[in-house]
Each structure stands twice: as C-alpha cells, then as structure tokens.
C-alpha cells in the first residue's frame, strides 16, 4: 500500500513539474509569436465576396426550391435524433458502450475508442453527420457559377476538416491516453515542438514534417555522382558521371521545377530517376535552380528562359560536341520548356531534338484543385506582398500546397507533433517537401497573371522576349507523362494542352498516383502502373476509355522512347571540358542555400 502511495506521489510530482515546464514554454511561445511578420490579409483566405455569394445562393435556393433544403435539414435532424436515442437507449440498459455506428470509415478515427467508448463515439458520429449535412447543403447550391461553387466547396471542406474532434486535445483519445501514460511529458514535448516550429519560422506556424537532422544533402540524399560544369546567377548545371562504357550520342538536359529543389529526382539510389537515366546509357545534365532572395525581384520568365533553358542547352551541346539535345521539363519547368520550344520554333532553331513533359500544364482553362487559389482575391494579395518583399516566400507556397491535402500534411502531422509530442519521422520525401524555395516577384506575377489566369500560352498570346508564342508552333517529338490523382496539374488538363502541340509524334502516358509518387516510381518497386493509348489524341475521356493498363512503372517505356530519339552509341563522356571546368561535386552549391551574396560572388568569376 505504501509503495502504491509513493508511486502516486511521484507521478503527481512529475505531473506538477511538467505543468511548470508548460508555463515556461508558454512564455517562449508568446515571445516567438511576437516576431511574426505582418502579411497581406488576402493571403490568409478568400475574400468576403465569396461567402456573400454563397449566402446569396443559399437564400435564392430557399426561395426557389425550398423543398430540397427542407429535405436535407429534415434528413439531418432525423439522423441526429436517432443517434441520440440510440445512445441513450444503450446507457439506460446499463451498458457502457456505443450504439451502432453507420458512419463511413475514416482513418482519422482509427483509435478503437472512437468505436467503443460512448463519449468519443457520440462525438465522432455527430461530427460525421454534421459534415455530411454541410457538404450536401453546399453541393445543392445551384445558383452559383461553377468556379465559385468549386471554391465554396473547397473552403467549406477546409473548415469542416479543421473542426474535426481529432484536432483538439480534449476530444482526441490518442493524445489524452499518452498524456496520462507519460504524466504530461508528451504535452511538454509537444509544446516544445510547437515553440521550435514557430521560432524557426519567425513567428509563423509551419509543422515540421520530417527530421531535419536525419538527412544531409550530398551524403545520404542526392548522392548520384556528378559535377557542376557551369554556373550563373540563375542555375548550376550538373553533369552526371556515366556508369556505362558507351552512351547515346544526344545528351539529355532535365529542367526540374524551381518551386522546389531538384533532388526530388535523386532522393536515394533505389528511387533516383537521375541514377536510373544514367544507368540506361544517357549523358544527363540537370539544372539546379538558384533559391532567390529579394535581389532577384526583377527576374522574370524571360530570365529563366535565357539564363536557364537556353544557356543550359548551349553548355550541354558544347560539352558533348553535338548540335542537338533532348529536354525534360517537370511541372512549371515543363510549362516554361514549352515557352522555350515555341520561341525556338519561331527562330527556326533546331537545338531541341525531342521534349518530355512531366505533370505539365500548358492549357490553364481548367486549373484543377489548385485553381481555388488563382482568383483575384489571392493573386491581388500576392502582387501587393511581393512588391514589398521582392519574392513570393517559400512559406506561402508550402502552406498553399499543403492545404490541398490538409489532413495528411497539416492536421495529422500537427497532432503527432504537438499533441503526442512525437519527433518528426526520418522520411526523405517529407524532408524534401519541407525544403522549399522562394520565387522572384516579377516571375511570380507573370506566371500567375499571364499563364494561370489569362491562359496566355494556350491562347498564343504569352510573350517570350517580346514575341507571343504558340503551342501549335512546336513540332518536335513529344512524350508527356501526367498523373491520375495529381492535385496540382490535373491529368485531363495536361492532356488538353499536349493535344494542341503541332507535333505529329506525340506520346501521352497517364501514370497512377499523384504529382510526386506518380513520377518517382522506380521499376523495382512495382508499385504504380500506367495507361497508354496509341490512337490519335481526341479527348481525355476517350483516351481513358480506350487505354491499355500496364502494371509496371512507365520509366522503361519512356526509356525506350527516349533511346529512339537519342542517336547512335558513342564512348562515355568525361565531366565538363576545356571551357567547362568542374566547379563543384554534385549536388552543387545552389541546392543547399538561399543565394545570397556568397553565391553571387561565386558566379561572377564564371559568367
């Protein structure tokens, strides 16, 4: 009995000590929040006009079709009342258990207590019923423009997801159980994680998704051997060391997106597309874009094309002694590759022999899920903010894309980190996801206004070096890979853009999975397959209806296509050349830092 009493006193002492730590951490939290930089309010949510439109549509629906709304409400009331009666009935029988639960399965509610404990099950069922009613109400708003209705559905879903009982300590059984089991230590660790994240982001809250100490670029991530063979203010050009005695004559130049770092294509040897390409006997060059600071405010799309695309192509040709190269563009880099190809076509320049596009939009008439952030309420705010900052901050970009998958990339990580006190996992993909880049102010607005909002490329009016370019001018052989569940570049939109290219030789592949996993899909994993259709391009629906499914990765299929565009075999090439000395080992210097003054000094002697 004495031992039990002593244990109880010790636990109480630990609990009180942890509560004192919470008080101390709260002071740090207050100090950290004081450093938060004021941002344009428009970056935090849609304008009030959108909610007014929804309210107006709801009133119109009440007046024009009251029976539909009444039916929805009566159904909700009926389910809610039945649930209450069922719960009371079980309790009156003296049984401490939950009533029957007809709500759909949801992995947020995986703890058995959500199914078995009457309190938690009641919360869960009511939340699910409330969510269903709100969703049905919004979907029933017929007196709205489709684009506005899509935005209302999206932002309503964000509010509903935010209010899930799993997101609050008092209604999260996992967090409560761990707090009790650890005498409050999990809450102290969670608050430490919260304070750390806010301090490291200058007062802003961004959940750390991966253990930042677990990876070091160039040591256990981005390790494919190679060297920087050219550097200017916009990029480093990396040439990768050959692994075969002979290589295809035509080199390949790969342009990753500059919204993130290039090493998504070189995470580790087992899933590195860069290593795989080299192993297939291709001379591979990859652009590593600079991470701009405010000194890059006036850098626009023309600068990326001139000092990035055209320069990388020229250096690769010089090093390899060839007249042509093959090119790859991923996401925004694919969009800009198409601008570059349009410019080259007008100039009669045959530098590019063939082009491959990964998850690329060139027709923005249907902007997909990300389109909810492309209205003037957001873009006007971005324009005002970048005019002050000189850049579009990587934190805004990261937060925007995370909210497209908020339960997976915001709420679940926050629960584990802040409520459970768990350390972030050592996960290479999430490490890369948190290693974002800024965008230059001028380039950001050109892209958002001219390409996303005005659809200038598909309409043939977006200028490159002052002259508009057109998709129909592009005649080189094309291979495009889009991803079935891509939430950034919808595959149907990608298809509609590729269809408008003037090329007679066009191959379209739809890979399973999303924007990243669909591309980083090595053949050895046998995880995701792909669809092909050899018929002429018509509509996305017809493509899918007549498509053949292949259970394997698309990489080998593309490798065969690329080999056919890459000429004869020649002896493997050394890195660099007389005019392209090796400047640094891969993955280079730009991948790890914001430019600043050091990198600019380093480039002046090279350019």
Q: For every residue of 225-258, which 3-state class applies, written as one string?
A: CEEEEEECCCEEEEEECCCCCEEECCCEEEECCC
Three-point CA angle 557, 241, 579, nearest 5°: 120
Q: Pairing relation of β-strands 467-468 and 478-483?
A: unpaired
CB neighbour class for 573 (10 Å; exposed up to 12, middle 13-18, buried from 19):
middle
**List 320, 331, 452, 483, catalytic entry:** 331
Q: Is 310 helix (H, G, I), strand (E, B) or coil?
A: helix
Beta-bridge partner residues of 217: 221
Predicted TM-score (pTM) of the model is 0.90
- Count of C-beta atoms within a 10 Å radius of residue 107: 8
> What pLDDT does 404 receive?
83
Taking alpha carbons only, the member of 541, 447, 539, 448 closest to residue 498 is 539
Look up residue 90 and give its two tokens. 């079980």
Look up residue 419 and give its two tokens. 């409520």
Distance CA 234, CA 380 (A): 27
Look up residue 301 and give its two tokens. 């799309």
- Radius of gyration of the chain from its Cα atoms, rounded to whole angstroms: 27
Look up residue 47 and give its two tokens. 């304008």
- Count of C-beta atoms within a 10 Å radius of residue 11: 13
Q: Across 454-600, where does the E strand assignment appear? A: 463-464, 467-468, 478-483, 506-511, 530-532, 548-550, 569-571, 584-585
Q: Is 190 helix (H, G, I), strand (E, B) or coil?
A: helix
Distance CA 150, CA 162 (A): 18
Ramachandran class of 569: left when φ > 0, alpha when ψ lies in -120 to 50, beta otherwise:
beta
Torsion, Cα 569 572 574 580, to 10 degrees, reads: 20
Q: Pairing relation of β-strands 284-289 and 235-240?
A: antiparallel
Three-point CA angle 398, 401, 403, nearest 5°: 105
What residue ranges define each of the domains in the chain, with the CATH number in brackets?
Answer: 35-163 (no CATH), 226-370+443-604 (3.40.50.1820)
Look up residue 491 and give its two tokens. 């595959």
Q: Pairing relation of β-strands 530-532 and 463-464?
A: unpaired
Distance CA 104, CA 324 (A): 56
Look up residue 66 and give its two tokens. 């009251």
Look up residue 568 and give its two tokens. 């004869």
Three-point CA angle 561, 565, 567, nearest 5°: 130
Helix 66-92 to helix 118-139 angle (10° resolution) is 170
> What pLDDT does 607 receive?
27
Q: Could you confirm whether 331 is annotated as catalytic?
A: yes
Q: Torsions phi, psi of 457, nearest 5?
A: -70, -50
Q: Torsions phi, psi of 440, nearest 5?
A: -60, 145
- Count of C-beta atoms within a 10 Å radius of residue 314: 14
Distance CA 95, CA 88 (A): 10
Distance CA 415, CA 173 (A): 11
Regions of the chain short of the pLDDT cut 50: 1, 596-607
Q: Helices in 93-184 by DSSP H: which ranges?
A: 113-116, 118-139, 146-162, 173-181
Distance CA 486, CA 494 (A): 10
| H helix count then E strand count, the chain | 22, 17
> What pLDDT does 26 receive?
81
Q: Torsions phi, psi of 569, nearest 5?
A: -90, 140
Distance CA 500, CA 344 (A): 17
Measured on CA atoms in the order 29, 32, 37, 38, is the torsion positive or negative? positive
Distance CA 128, CA 87 (A): 15
DSSP code at position 577: B
From residue 206, alpha-carbon distances to 144, 203, 403, 413, 418 in Å are 34, 9, 12, 10, 12
> What pLDDT does 599 receive?
38
CA atoms within 13 A on the CB side of 104: 5
DSSP code at position 568: S
Look up residue 231 and give its two tokens. 């550097």
């Amino acid at each position: 009995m004495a031992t039990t009493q002593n244990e109880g006193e010790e636990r109480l002492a630990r609990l009180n000590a942890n509560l004192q730590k919470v008080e101390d951490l709260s002071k740090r939290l207050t100090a950290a929040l004081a450093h938060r930089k004021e941002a344009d309010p428009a970056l935090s949510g849609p304008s009030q006009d959108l909610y007014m439109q929804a309210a107006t549509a709801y009133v119109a629906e009440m007046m024009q079709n009251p029976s539909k709304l009444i039916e929805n409400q009566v159904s909700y009331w009926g389910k809610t009342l039945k649930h209450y009666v069922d719960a009371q009935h079980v309790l009156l029988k003296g049984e401490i258990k939950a009533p029957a639960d007809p709500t759909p399965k949801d992995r947020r509610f995986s703890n058995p207590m959500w199914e078995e404990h009457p309190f938690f099950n009641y919360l869960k069922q009511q939340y699910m019923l409330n969510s269903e009613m709100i969703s049905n109400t919004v979907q029933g708003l017929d007196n709205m423009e489709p684009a506005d209705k899509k935005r209302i559905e999206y932002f309503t879903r964000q509010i509903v997801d935010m209010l899930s009982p799993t997101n609050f300590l008092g209604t999260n059984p996992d967090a409560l159980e761990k707090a009790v089991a650890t005498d409050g230590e999990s809450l102290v660790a969670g608050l430490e994680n919260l304070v750390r994240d806010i301090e490291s982001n200058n007062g802003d809250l961004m959940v750390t998704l991966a253990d930042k100490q677990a990876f070091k670029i160039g040591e256990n991530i981005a390790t494919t051997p190679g060297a920087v063979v050219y550097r200017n203010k916009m990029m480093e050009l990396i040439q990768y060391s050959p692994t075969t005695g002979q290589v295809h004559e035509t080199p390949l130049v790969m342009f990753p997106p500059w919204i993130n770092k290039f090493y998504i294509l070189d995470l580790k040897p087992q899933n590195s597309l860069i290593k795989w390409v080299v192993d297939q006997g291709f001379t591979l060059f990859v652009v590593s874009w600079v991470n701009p600071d405010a000194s890059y405010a006036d850098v626009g799309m023309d600068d990326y094309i001139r000092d990035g695309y055209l320069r990388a192509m020229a250096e690769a040709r010089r090093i390899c002694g060839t007249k042509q190269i093959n090119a790859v563009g991923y996401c925004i880099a694919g969009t800009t590759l198409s601008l570059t190809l349009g410019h080259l076509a007008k100039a009669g320049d045959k530098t590019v022999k063939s082009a491959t596009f990964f998850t690329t939009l060139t027709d923005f008439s249907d902007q997909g899920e990300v389109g909810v952030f492309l209205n003037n309420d957001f873009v006007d705010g971005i324009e005002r903010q970048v005019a002050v900052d000189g850049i579009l901050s990587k934190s805004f970009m990261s937060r925007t894309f995370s909210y497209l998958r908020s339960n997976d990339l915001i709420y679940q990580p926050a629960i584990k980190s802040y409520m459970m006190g768990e350390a972030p996992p050592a996960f290479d993909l999430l490490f890369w996801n948190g290693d974002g880049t800024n965008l230059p102010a001028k380039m950001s607005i050109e892209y958002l206004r001219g390409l996303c909002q005005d659809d200038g490329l598909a309409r043939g009016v977006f200028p490159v070096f002052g002259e508009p370019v057109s998709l129909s001018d592009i005649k080189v052989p094309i291979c495009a890979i889009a991803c079935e569940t891509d939430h950034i570049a919808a595959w149907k939109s990608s298809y509609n853009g590729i269809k408008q290219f003037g090329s007679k030789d066009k191959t379209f592949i739809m890979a399973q999975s999303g924007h990243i996993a669909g591309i980083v899909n090595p053949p050895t994993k046998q995880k995701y397959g792909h669809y092909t259709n050899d018929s002429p391009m018509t509509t996305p629906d017809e493509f899918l209806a007549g498509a053949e499914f292949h259970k394997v990765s698309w990489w080998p299929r593309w490798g065969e296509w690329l080999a056919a565009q890459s000429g004869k075999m020649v002896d493997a090439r050394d890195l660099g050349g007389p005019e392209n000395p090796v400047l640094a080992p891969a993955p280079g210097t730009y991948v790890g830092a914001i430019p600043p003054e050091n990198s600019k000094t380093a480039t002046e002697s090279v350019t």
